[in-house]
Amino acid sequence: MGRKERQTTILVVDDEQVHRYMLCSMLREWGWRCVEADDGETAVAAVEKHTYDAVLMDVRMARMDGREAFSRIHALQPSVPVVIMTAYSSVDDAVEAIRHGAHDYLTKPLDFDRLRLTLERAVDRRQVIERQQHGTEEQTPLETAIIGTSPPMLELLEMIRYVAPTEATVLIAGESGTGKELVAEALHRNSLRRDRAFVKVNCAALAESLLESELFGHEKGAFTGADRRREGKFVQADGGTLFLDEIGETTQAMQVKLLRVLQEQELQRVGGEETISVDVRIIAATNRDLEEEVRRGAFREDLYYRLNVVMLTVPPLRERGDDITLLVRHFAALFAQKNRRRLEGITSECIDLLRHYPWPGNVRELENAIERGIILMRGEQLTEKSLPLTIQKMAEGQDAVANARPLSLSEVEKEMIFQTLDETGGNKSEAARRLGITRKTLLNKLHKYDEEG
């Protein structure tokens, strides 16, 4: 006979007996086993003796409130997801619970559909972690387009392997051009949602009113030009993953609206009254220091902690050592095929120059440099002579570098920006695209240079 599958067990912690009874009755109807605890102390004692698939706990109780009980339960069994319930739906409570590792936060009166979805996600995450800990989770190769074998990239790939199968919201941090979108795609491809949609939105590319319509959709007649109903990106991503790129560029008003969807998993179209429920995993990315933005009051703290359940940091190219050689060869082969150019090899001088360049624009700058190099290549070898002028100047001055003051990263960046503007005839939008930054960021940098004289 086969081994009998263990029944999923939820620990329900609430000092109101009627509420506990109602919750346990519902959990049993959903096929789960329910264990009751009437206060925080009883819950901690239960977790000391047994392992549960999830804990559903009230935050306000007479003996040991939910915060303290959660802290002790998390210390005892950190992999057990805890879902907090409260009738006090203040922002401070929500931020505090998520900041200290709660799986999610529900407000009373409970939305039972959301309760079931939240617990199902919590249980799925717990089971994935349990299989990994016991070595029963198959170590299938990661499906990813990310290229890199340097220690920082291997560490990032391992984090992707660990986080992808969970339902955790992920915040991806890193400089412009490092490949944050590839990380988001890898998280989706290796998740339980891989067969559903992966929808991308660049929050910096649209004005607030357009971004709201893009995300939430709109009703016919909601504004001038709205000649039909349109579903937004949240609905398009239902059951799958929504990638919010450049989340740090959103306005405070938009942040409030995003927070509501993340908390409630429901939205309304612009100009509409119908409430639409969605099941979406959120992955966000930013090149800003959001902690600093929170301190400055430019980014909402509650949204930051909703997004930053897990943070992955993509290292800049200058810290990735031998990955530069791998990327150069990859892009050279790619663009040679794309542009129907015969490529026999890359000179060692070209590789050496590329390895020593600081790459302020990161992988995107390297990709653009190699594409230009292949297009302008004389003969069948890629040499330093066909690289962008900024990189060639570095080669020309290498003999004098030992006796000269080295350029700072900001100086290299400034030179690269002006060189790109020269190459584009002053077209700021095209220059921003080639540099891998937003037009707004480029304008801010140019304004800064004007002030510096």
Amino acid symbol at 21: Y
- Contact assessment for residue 318 and residue 274, using Cβ atoms and an 8 Å cutoff: no
The pLDDT confidence band at residue 63, using thresholds 50, 70 and 90, is confident
- Please report the beta strands in 118-158, taking only residues with DSSP state E, as ranges in sequence order: none
The pLDDT confidence band at residue 134, using thresholds 50, 70 and 90, is low
Q: Is the peptide bond before 316 cis (omega within 30 degrees of 0)?
A: no
Task: Please report the pLDDT score of residue 371 as a whole number.
Answer: 92
Of 211-220, 325-334, 399-408, the poorest mean pLDDT is in 399-408
Question: What is the C-alpha separation between 325 and 352, in angstroms, rounded?
Answer: 9
Of 108-122, 234-248, 296-310, 409-423, the poorest mean pLDDT is in 409-423
- Contact assessment for residue 386 and residue 411, using Cβ atoms and an 8 Å cutoff: no
Instruction: Determine the average pLDDT of the residues in 165-181.
Output: 92
Task: Please report the pLDDT score of residue 131 as a whole number.
Answer: 58
Instruction: Indicate the average pLDDT of the chain.
Output: 84
Question: What is the C-alpha separation between 115 and 122, in angstroms, rounded?
Answer: 11
The pLDDT confidence band at residue 281, using thresholds 50, 70 and 90, is very high
Task: Please report the pLDDT score of residue 96 as a whole number.
Answer: 66
Task: Please report the pLDDT score of residue 142 as a whole number.
Answer: 81
Of 55-69, 133-147, 264-278, 295-309, the poorest mean pLDDT is in 133-147
**Which one is predicted more confidently, 411 or 18?**
18
Instruction: Determine the average pLDDT of the residues in 125-131.
Output: 64
CA-based nearest residue to 409, from 175, 64, 210, 158: 175
Sign, CA dihedral 315-316-320-324, equals positive
Task: Please report the pLDDT score of residue 428 as a whole number.
Answer: 85
Whether the per-residue pLDDT at 400 is higher than 50: the answer is no
Question: What is the C-alpha separation between 123 and 7, in angstroms, rounded?
Answer: 11
Task: Give the angle 247-252-256 at the CA atoms, nearest 5°.
Answer: 85
Task: Please report the pLDDT score of residue 421 as a whole number.
Answer: 80
Q: What is the pLDDT of residues 401-448, one digit of tens each?
A: 434 444 555 676 777 787 778 777 778 888 887 777 788 888 888 888
CA-based nearest residue to 364, from 403, 405, 320, 316: 316
* Complete DSSP assignment for 393-431: HHHHTHHHHTTSPPPPHHHHHHHHHHHHHHHTTT-HHHH
Question: What is the C-alpha separation between 271 and 255, in angstroms, rounded?
Answer: 19
Residue 388 DSSP label: -
Task: Please report the pLDDT score of residue 284 as a whole number.
Answer: 97
Strand pairing report for 54-58 and 345-346: unpaired
Question: What is the C-alpha separation between 354 and 366, in angstroms, rounded?
Answer: 8
Sign, CA dihedral 402-408-413-418, equals negative
The residue assigned the tokens 């190219």 is 317
DSSP three-state, residue 266: strand
Whether the per-residue pLDDT at 29 is higher than 80: the answer is yes
Task: Please report the pLDDT score of residue 98 as a whole number.
Answer: 63
Sign, CA dihedral 371-358-433-249, equals positive
Task: Please report the pLDDT score of residue 273 as a whole number.
Answer: 87
**Which one is predicted more confidently, 66 or 358?**
358
Task: Please report the pLDDT score of residue 133 as a whole number.
Answer: 55
**Which one is predicted more confidently, 331 or 4?**
331
- Contact assessment for residue 352 and residue 215, using Cβ atoms and an 8 Å cutoff: no
Extract the tokens encoding 267.
């939205």
* Complete DSSP assignment for 305-354: HHHTTEEEEPPPGGG-TTHHHHHHHHHHHHHHHHTT----EE-HHHHHHH
Question: What is the C-alpha separation between 358 and 75, in angstroms, rounded?
Answer: 43
* Complete DSSP assignment for 35-94: EEESSHHHHHHHHHH---SEEEEES--SSS-HHHHHHHHHHH-TTS-EEEEES---HHHH
Task: Please report the pLDDT score of residue 453 as a whole number.
Answer: 62
Task: Please report the pLDDT score of residue 399 as a whole number.
Answer: 44
Instruction: Determine the average pLDDT of the residues in 40-50.
Output: 91
Question: What is the C-alpha separation between 413 and 402, in angstroms, rounded?
Answer: 21
CB atoms within 10 A of CB 346: 21
Question: What is the C-alpha separation between 59 and 71, in angstroms, rounded?
Answer: 12
Share above pLDDT 70 across residues of the chain, in percent, rounded to a whole number: 87
Instruction: Determine the average pLDDT of the residues in 132-143.
Output: 60
DSSP three-state, residue 16: coil
Task: Please report the pLDDT score of residue 287 as a whole number.
Answer: 93
- Contact assessment for residue 266 and residue 275, using Cβ atoms and an 8 Å cutoff: yes
**Which one is predicted more confidently, 171 or 410?**
171
Task: Please report the pLDDT score of residue 395 as a whole number.
Answer: 56
Task: Please report the pLDDT score of residue 100 as a whole number.
Answer: 66
Task: Please report the pLDDT score of residue 99 as a whole number.
Answer: 65
Task: Please report the pLDDT score of residue 402 as a whole number.
Answer: 39
Task: Please report the pLDDT score of residue 397 as a whole number.
Answer: 55
Whether the per-residue pLDDT at 119 is higher than 90: the answer is no
Of 54-58, 278-282, 398-402, the poorest mean pLDDT is in 398-402
- Contact assessment for residue 60 and residue 71, using Cβ atoms and an 8 Å cutoff: no
Which positions ≥6 away from 108 have C-beta within 8 Å? 85, 86, 87
Share above pLDDT 90 across residues of the chain, in percent, rounded to a whole number: 42
The residue assigned the tokens 């089971």 is 127
Task: Please report the pLDDT score of residue 185 as a whole number.
Answer: 96
Question: What is the C-alpha separation between 258 and 255, in angstroms, rounded?
Answer: 5
Task: Please report the pLDDT score of residue 91 as a whole number.
Answer: 47
Instruction: Give the count of alpha carbons within 13 A of 396, CB side only.
Output: 8
> What are the angstrom distances between the C-alpha of 47 and each of 23, 97, 246?
19, 19, 41
Extract the tokens encoding 113.
């559909």
> For 191, phi and psi rounded to 5 degrees?
-100, 175
